Structures are given as C-alpha cells and as structure tokens.
Structure 1
Amino acid sequence: MTHPAELSATDAASRIAAGTLKAQELAEAMLDVIARREPGVRAFAHLDPALVRRQAAAVDAAPAKGKLAGLFFGVKDVLDTADQPSQYGSPIWAGHRPRTDASCVALARRAGAVIAGKTVTTEFATRFPGATTNPHNARHTPGGSSQGSAAGVGAGMLHLAFGTQTAGSIIRPAAFCGAVGFKPSYGTLHRAGMKVMSESLDTIGVMARSVADAARAMSALTGLDHGPAEAPRAPKLALVMGAMAEAGPETAPHMERVAEAARRAGATVTPITLPAACDAAFAAHAHVMHMESAQALAWEIDHARAQLSPAMRTNMDWAMAEPPAKLVEARAAFAAAQACFADAIAGYDAVLTPSAPGEAPEGIEFTGTPVFNTLWTLLHTPCVTIPAGTGPRGLPLGAQIVTPRGQDAAALMWAEWLRRALG
C-alpha cells in the first residue's frame, strides 16, 4: 500500500473526499517527511506543526471536501497569511503579521488546502538568497526566488506550493529541484496580498509533483478547468533555444534528446528564430524590473535602506538614476513583443525551450540566471517546466513548454504530452 506522503495531490485529495483517508493521517505522514528532510533542505521560513494539525482536523470536520482537501500547500513568503508571519525575505519585515490572507492563499484554503507553512524567498523575491538548499544535493542552489517552494515540493515535503515569477522565479527553481512549475498567464491569479515588486511582470503560479497536480491546483483556484486534457494528436512544436551563450555544456545535448523523444512520439519539432521585437523586449527587462521595484520599495529605501542587501541597494540606486523615460520606452518594447508573439508561432501548438541554463549551480549564494525564462515572463505567456532527466552531476534537468497568453490549459496539456513522450 502506498504511504500517504507518497500519494499524488490528486490521489490524496480524492481519498480524503471519499473518506478512505483522513486529512489528519495525511498531515502526520507529511509532518514526518518534513521532520526528516527540513533540517538539511531548510525550505521553510515559518513552520508550526500544531497549526497544521488544527487545519487538518478542520478539513476532516467539514461536511464538504474541497478540490484541495487536506493537501499540504506551501506559501512563498512574499504572499500574506493571516495566521503566520509574512516577512518577504527581509529583516525589515521581521515578525510582520498581516491581518488577512493574500487572495490566492484564501482561495486555496477555501478549496480545503492545509497551509503547511511559509516557504523561503530571496529578499523581496529578487536575488539575495535565503538558506535553502537543493533537495537533490545540499551543496547546490535550489534556484530562486521561489526557492523554498521548489525545494519543499522537490523534497516531498509539500504537495503544492505557490511561487511568483518576475524573471524566472517559478520555472528555474522548479527545474533545478525536479518539480513541475507552472507560471500561468499574467494576471490569472490575483495579486492582492502579495508584496508586488514589478507591476508589469510579477505573476503568481504553482509548483507541484506532476502536471496533473498543478492542473488540479489551478482548477481549484480559478474555477476553470485546467485539465490536463488528453492531447488529440502529437503537437507541432517550435524549438526556441534562446540564450545558449549562457547555457551549460549539458543543455544543448539535453534539448536534442528531448526534441528527439518528442519526434519519436510523433511530434514535429522545428527550430525557429523569434522576431527582433522579442530581443528588444528581452534587453529592456532589467529597466522594467528594477525601475518598478524601486517604486515598490520607496518606503524601504527611504526608511530602512541599511537593512537592504548591498546587491539590492546597488540595483535600486541604478534604477533611480535612470531617466523615467527609460521605463516608458521599456514598457513599449514589452508591448511590441507581446503584439507579435502569437503571429511568430502561428502554425505551432507550443514552444519547446530550455527551462534553465542547465543543472543547478554549486553553492547557495547564487540562484542561477533567468535568461531562459525572462522573455516568456514579459510576454505574459503561460509556461510549464517538467522534469526531463538528469545532468552530468546527477541533478535534475527540465524542459519548458510555452503557449500564447490565455492558452493555459493547452500549455498543461502539451506539457503532459511531452512528459509521456519522455517516458
């Protein structure tokens, strides 16, 4: 018999709804995993087992069981929780206790999820990392900025977790930690109760153990069916390799293997080059991200500058020294790229592209570069990374599926098709 902690989110929630598994039984099994793995992984910024047990008991007592009943859902610590601290990865906000949940957290609770704890984020979901390690090798980074969420799912301590992405903060850490990461279309999950940094970019998404589990979470949170539906046929995939100059040596042969597996399963995989407008938007990303972040952190910069990391102070000083017109120009570059992307991949079902530059880098001081994610974030498209084997050091590698904005269910469908093709 499968141990409760090893059940998929879909199976666990279904058993709880059917009455063949108690949420309290599942909670004890998951807390045992956390007790074993957390000292090395350090995924949690806040963890209260007694609170977890009370939530599980409430799930069992409820007459109706939601779609996420009893599931352990981690919350990245840039999202507010009414019953746990929300500290945004910064000493400035140490001990902060909001009065309300973020919208996405409230919706997860409404669907029956157990909010297992707050997961470690880099400072304000930017670059300065926390203490989290990669669950597959503690000498390596889990990625960032959603590092605790990715590591918690990858270590089996969580069924699901919220992440946020401004450049590559869902897809890259999920790939590094061997998890599924889903960044939905921009604006799909409401950002009320989030410590927003970049108004034009920040997107809330989920991490999961499988595509089906990610789809279940999104269906529960939005009320819209995210499948994943059975693909009607093999897809036509546009292969976009992106910034290969910054990729590890394992990335090109890895993507060749992924593309060949897709072809053997019947897919058409065609290398394409995106329009110059996409390159211009990619180059403009730093201006939008940092200049909007400098606006978001106006209070912290003015009143608590000494408690910002040196890297954050450097980036904010640079952003504030740039002329305001640069932000207007950069946003216009985003709009131009967004306007041409659907036409650029017309005739294809989805884009196939690397999830990250390769395996997770050694050391936890650097979370890796988001160069294989930045474009898709600014285009506001849905993106899915799936585990796709391991690299030369035995660490996870991912493969990423991207579809046009609004085609979220299709992105999950083609990601599941690719997962099956990879075996």
Structure 2
Amino acid sequence: MTQPLVRPRSLAREAAGLRSGEPGLPAYVDRLCALVERVDPLIHAFVPEPGRHDRLMARARELEARHPRPSGRPPLYGVAVGVKDVVHVDGLPTHGGSALPPGVLAGPQAVVVDRLLAAGAMVAGKTATAEFAASAPGPTRNPHHPGHTPGGSSSGSAAAVAAGLVPLAIGTQTVGSVIRPAAYCGVVGFRPTYGRIPSAGVLPNAPSLDTLGVFTADLAGVALAAPLLCDDWRREPEAGVPVLGVPDGTYLEHAEPAALSAFEEWLERLERAGLTVCRVPLFADFAEVSRQLQAVNRFELARSHADWFARFGRLYRPETVASIRVGQGIAPEDRAAALEFRERLRERVAAATAGAGVDLWLAPSATGGAPEGLHTTGNAVMSSPWSFLGLPALSLPAGRTATGLPLGLQVVGAAGGDERLLAQAAVLQRALGLAEA
C-alpha cells in the first residue's frame, strides 16, 4: 500500500486559505476530524482523544470571534498542528508514549505551544512518540508502507504530515528524531540550532542535546513556521550560491549502498547545475564521536528520569530500561569529559568548514529507507555528529529506494545560521528541481 495514505498538504497554501476564510473554521474542523477518524486507525499517528471535535470547535469559535476580519488574522490562523506527546499542552495530558499513571508527567504548557497559539494555530492533538523520546517504538506506521517504521522518536509527527492529517507538526530531536523520520516519511524536517526554540515545557531526554523541530510537506512550510517559533529570527539577505561540503571518511560508510548511490546522484545533479561540491575529510575519529555522544545521552537520560524511574521503573519498556541502566553506570566526570570533547570537535569542524570555504554540509538523512517492521525506529547514525554539535539541519525528500521507500538529503548549516540554511536550501531545491507540495 502506498499512495492512498500519502497526501501531504502545503502549510503555506492552507494558512493563506484559512486567513482568507476559505474554508471557514467550523468546516475545517469537521473535515479535519473526519480525516483523522478515517485515516489514523491505519497509521496511529495521533494519541487517541475522545473529545477532539468539541475541543477544536471551541478553539475555532474563539479564533473567529477574536479575528473577524481576514486582514487582521495571524499567520497560522486556524491551522491544525500535531504536537509530539513529550510537549506539554494545556488541557491535553502528556504520556510521553509511556504507561506511567496520568498526571505524573504533568507540567506547564511549553513555550513552543504558546508561540503556535499566539500565531493562531489549533493543536489538532498529541502525536505518538517512542517512549520518552528514546528508542522503544510507538504504534505509528509509515504511511508509504504501513509495514515499515516511520522512524522515531517523532514518529507520529512525521507520519501525520506525510498522510496529510495536518500540514505542520512539532517534534524533538536528541540524536536523529526529526531528520530520520522526515526522511523515512518523505517530508521536510527542520532541526534548528540547539536552543533556538526554547525547550521549556518539554519532557527532557538529554538536555544538552534535546532540540525542538518541525515537520512540513515542503520547504516553504518550514520558511513560514520557523520565524514564528525560533528566537530572534532575522530576515536573511540574498542567499547566493552556497559551496557544498561532503564529509568524506568513515561517517559516510555507515550509509547503505542504495542510499549512497542516490546521494552521489544528487551531488552530480548539483554539480551539473553549477554548484561547487567539496569533499572534505571529516570525523576521522567517528567511532569516538559516537561514543562520546552516547555518554552524554545516556547519562542525562538516567538523570532526567531518576525520580520517575525510581517510582515507576516497572512500567518502563525494556529498551528504555536498558538505556537508563547504561546511563546510571556513567560517572559524572565521564559526561564532563564528553562535553569537553564536544568543544574540541566544534573547533575542528569549524576550522575544516572555514578552510574549505563550505557553506552547507550534505549527507544522507538516514542510512537508507525505512526498515521493515515496527520493532525498531531505525538507525540515527547519520544525524549523530551534527546533533552532538548542535548544528541546524534539514531533511529534504530526495528520491526513493527500489521498493518505493522515501530517501532524504540532509543539509547542515552553521550554528546560529538557521536563516541562511533555509535560504540556501531553497537554492539547492531549485537546482535539483524538487517541487513544493
């Protein structure tokens, strides 16, 4: 099964239509809820919510009363947004994909949700997640091939956008939880610079790594959402033609042959379009990069869950228990040494970037297409060095495997250079002939 469940919707077009009054918000809510009722039982992107229609209709009436004239409507007026179930939303419980008792994980509404609501959005519901945004898979299926994983841990958010349930969804990434599911589900995923969207109101996994991100059908959707959610967004001047860097070495060897072949084809197309592609040795010590990243991740996961795990450890799934047990065995000084290693790595990558004159780094978004089965969320290794460094990244849909599974092109920018990343990614998109939704 492929096409019937894959109907992504343009955020930019949907937002413009809602602001103009086409459709009206009550009709929009009716259609949205009918779509969720019909499609979501097949992919399980949303956390079940019995009163969804009534809640959304109340929000629609509130928005109509507050903004009666199209000219005064905010940019996301009425837009339905999926929010990952580790992000607190007033009126909706946070379960974190876990079996912990209701209310245990409660907290104040997240800043990112405040910003969505201020922009006029409606929270369509909580989207399914791997348990506590770690590795124990949630129930979500890949809309392209329901027998395959949608990726994780932001599985429900990516699948909801791919299936056209919502045009915008919020996820989180600690290592690869935005970029990988975006690639597997054939949508655009944007992971900003670490800290660019405040994480207040989000269940922590590893606070030194956790980053909020967004899923949309296309790059234009990210360009609309990012300025509303990120701190201190600036208007980017003319982007110019970027110099592209490819990190040669053991890092790329983790990608499967089909993914590497597709990646090389995209690079050739970019060069034929007149862009410069530089192959730069990078991450020669990739095994050590991965080891140090895991030390930070596991230590902080165990610390984040120390209280909950002590009280409810029997309710945690085996994969999460194993990760927490590893983290409990990591000494604080080892985590401190890993963070020092990261600072040295940042200096080395910055020097290599400047030395080669690279504007953007390119890599496969994932090791290949989405694995078959729902017992795994896939391998996050292609995102790991960039996440460790806190750099902004995009996954752009870029081709398919022989069996029709989506592949993604990962585009990585400089720390704090989110605006330039989006502007220059648009240059790549035009050069590659990638269409908007």
C-alpha separation in 1, matches of 2:58 and 2:399 = 38
TM-superposed deviation, 1:412: 1.2
1:77-115 alpha-carbon deviations (Å, 9 max, x no partner): 000011111111111144658463111011101110110
Letter in 1 for 2:382: F
- Structure-1 residue corresponding to 2:43: 41
Q: 3-state SS of the aligned residue for 2:402? A: coil
Change (3 A) 1:357 1:99: closer
Cα distance change, pair 229–390 in 1 and its aligned pair in 2 (3 A): farther
**How far, CA to CA, are the matches of 1:389 and 1:23 in structure 2?**
36
Q: CA deviation at 1:228?
A: 8.0
Deviation per residue, 1:61-85 (Å, 9 max, x gap): 2224211111111100000011111
Change (3 A) 1:41 1:119: same
Corresponding residue of 1:67: 75
Paired residue secondary structure (1:250): helix
| Residue 410 in structure 1 maps to residue 417 in structure 2 | no
Instruction: Look up the equivalent residue of 1:55 and give its one-letter code.
Output: R
Q: What TM-score comes out, normalization by structure 2 length? A: 0.91
Deviations 1:250-269 (A, max 9, x none): 11111011101111221111
After alignment, is 20-29 or 389-398 more displaced? 20-29
The corresponding residue for 1:18 is 20
Question: 2:215 — aligned with what?
Answer: 207
Specify the code of the residue in structure 2 equivalent to 1:146.
S
Q: What SS does the aligned partner of 1:272 have?
A: strand
Amino acid corresponding to residue 106 of structure 1 in structure 2: D
CA offset digits 1:34-76 (Å, max 9, x no partner): 2332111100114312212222222222224211111111100
Q: Which is worse superposed, 222-231 or 397-406?
A: 222-231
1:401 aligns with 2:411: yes
Q: Which residue of 2 aligns with 1:361?
A: 371
Instruction: Answer whether contact 2:247 2:283 (CA < 8 A) is retained.
Output: no
Equivalent residue of 2:47, what SS? strand
| Number of the residue aligned with 2:246 | 239
Matched, 1:348 2:352: no
Gaps of 5+ in 1: none
Letter in 2 for 1:161: A
Q: 1:153 aligned to 2:155?
A: no
How far the C-alpha of 1:311 sits from its partner, in A, is 1.9
8 Å CA contact retained: 2:182, 2:395 = yes
Which moves more between the two structures, 63-72 or 347-356?
63-72
Give yes or no for the alignment of 1:57 onto 2:61.
yes
Which is further off, 41-50 or 200-209? 41-50
Structure 1 range deviating more: 142-151 or 304-313: 304-313
Q: Distance in 1 between matches of 2:172 and 2:418?
A: 16
Say if 2:325 is the partner of 1:320.
Answer: no
**Does the CA contact (< 8 Å) of 1:385 and 1:398 recur in 2?**
yes
CA distance in structure 1 between the partners assigned to 2:231 and 2:323 by the alignment: 39
One-letter amino acid matched to 1:400: Q
The gaps in structure 2 that reach 5 residues or longer are 1-6
- Kindly indicate whether the alpha-carbon contact (under 8 Å) linking 1:215 and 1:226 is maintained by their aligned counterparts in 2: no
Pair 171,93 (structure 1): closer, same or farther in 2 beyond 3 Å: farther
Q: How many residues align?
A: 418
Paired with 1:191 and 1:240, the residues of 2 have a C-alpha distance of 30
Whether 1:380 and 2:387 are equivalent positions in the alignment is: no
Distance 2:31 2:388 in 1: 40
* SS of alignment partner, residue 375 of structure 2: coil
Q: Which residue of 289, 292, 295 maps to 2:300?
A: 292
The answer on whether the counterparts of 1:227 and 1:413 sit within 8 Å (CA) in structure 2 is no
Give CA-to-partner distance per residue, 1:271-302, whole Å, 9 cap, x none.
21115476633320111000011000001221
TM superposition score normalised by structure 1 = 0.93
Q: Distance in 2 between matches of 1:152 and 1:228?
A: 30
Identity %: 35
Give 3-state SS (helix, strand or coil) of 2:281's partner. Answer: coil
